[in-house]
């Protein structure tokens, strides 16, 4: 029996995995919009890298990030690979939380995202999104050293791994230490959510610029004007991973 729960309220459709925790939310009238703040935060890596050509997505949820990417990265996006372990979640992409499955750029497969990344060619991915929790808030191997090592290998020279982590669980610091051991602490920035315990972690294969760099501030203004997302606020809220270690 599936534990999937779908509710609708005030124009939004929300997914739960048998608990009160929100797995994802979609504005029904504007499905390409990122309805949750933490999902918006997971686009903040655009401060450091250009829109990607090849994207790997660990976990489908309601498909919010893939829909946004297909809508906004149309000029550059070449391939969007989504790996989701649950067949019933994949079924939601047919209608409840629709994805354009006919789009040749999109590939949605059932499988273990932590294992599947190991099959990718070295230096073949520009961007890795990781947002993959079960109904008990567990993410499993997607916070492990082997996964981070495989992700680092799969990323191109200026690639980024962008992960949604929870800061109020005991494993949080351990996950950051494992990530830092692979990517290097100087290559990681943290962006805490405004209203929740979510933290977006941006791990870059190349060194990150100083967060107070003037060129970065100018880029934030331009991105906000182009995409309507709060890049300037994000830049002010970001910190080095060393603060949390």
More confident residue, 242 or 65: 65
| Domain of 92, in residue numbers | 32-243
Q: Is residue 206 part of a domain?
A: yes
Q: Is residue 9 part of a domain?
A: no
Q: Specify the length of the chain in residues.
A: 245
Q: Is residue 15 part of a domain?
A: no
The 10s digit of each residue's pLDDT in 104-132 is: 999 999 999 999 999 999 999 999 999 98
More confident residue, 17 or 30: 30
Q: With cut-offs at 50, 70 and 90, classify the pLDDT of residue 75.
A: confident
pLDDT over threshold 70, residue 136? no
Q: Is residue 217 part of a domain?
A: yes
Q: Are 187 and 206 in contact (CB under 8 A)?
A: yes
Averaged over 142-170, what is the pLDDT? 94
Q: Is residue 66 part of a domain?
A: yes
Mean pLDDT rounded to a whole number for the chain: 93
Number of domain units in the chain: 1
CA angle 176, 126, 103 (to 5 degrees): 120
Q: With cut-offs at 50, 70 and 90, classify the pLDDT of residue 234.
A: very high
Q: What pLDDT, on the 0 to 100 scale, is given for residue 139?
A: 73
Q: How far apart are CA 150 and CA 185, in angstroms?
A: 18
pLDDT over threshold 70, residue 138? no
Averaged over 55-59, what is the pLDDT? 97
Q: Is residue 17 part of a domain?
A: no
Q: With cut-offs at 50, 70 and 90, classify the pLDDT of residue 137.
A: low
Q: Are 34 and 28 in contact (CB under 8 A)?
A: no
Q: With cut-offs at 50, 70 and 90, classify the pLDDT of residue 144.
A: very high
Q: Is residue 53 part of a domain?
A: yes
Q: Is residue 13 part of a domain?
A: no
Q: How far apart are CA 125 and CA 46, in angstroms?
A: 15
Phi-psi map region of 18: left, alpha, beta (phi>0 left; psi -120 to 50 alpha)? left
| Strand 79-84 relative to strand 106-110, pairing | parallel
Q: How far apart are CA 202 and CA 210, in angstroms?
A: 14
The CATH number linked to 142 is: 3.40.50.150
Name the nearest CA neighbour of 153 among 193, 119, 107.
119
């Amino acid at each position: 029996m599936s534990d999937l729960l779908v509710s609708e309220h005030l124009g939004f459709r929300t997914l739960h995995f048998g608990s009160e925790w929100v797995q994802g939310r979609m504005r029904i009238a504007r499905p390409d919009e990122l309805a949750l703040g933490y999902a918006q935060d997971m686009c903040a890596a655009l401060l450091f890298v250009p829109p990607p050509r090849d994207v790997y997505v660990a976990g489908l949820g309601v498909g919010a990030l893939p829909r946004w990417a297909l809508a906004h990265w149309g000029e550059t996006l070449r391939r969007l690979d989504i790996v989701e372990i649950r067949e019933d979640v994949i079924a939601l992409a047919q209608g409840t939380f629709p994805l354009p499955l006919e789009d040749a750029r999109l590939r949605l497969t059932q499988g273990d995202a932590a294992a599947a990344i190991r099959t990718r060619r070295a230096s073949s991915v520009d961007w890795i999104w990781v947002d993959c929790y079960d109904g008990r808030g567990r993410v499993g191997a997607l916070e492990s050293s082997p996964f981070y090592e495989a992700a680092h290998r799969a990323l191109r020279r200026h690639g980024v791994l962008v992960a949604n982590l929870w800061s109020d669980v005991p494993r949080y610091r351990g996950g950051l230490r494992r990530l830092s051991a692979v990517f290097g602490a100087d290559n990681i920035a943290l962006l805490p959510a405004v209203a929740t315990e979510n933290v977006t972690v941006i791990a870059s294969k190349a060194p990150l610029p100083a967060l107070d760099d003037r060129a970065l501030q100018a880029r934030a203004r331009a991105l906000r004007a182009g995409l309507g997302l709060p890049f300037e606020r994000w830049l002010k809220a970001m910190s080095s991973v060393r603060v949390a270690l």
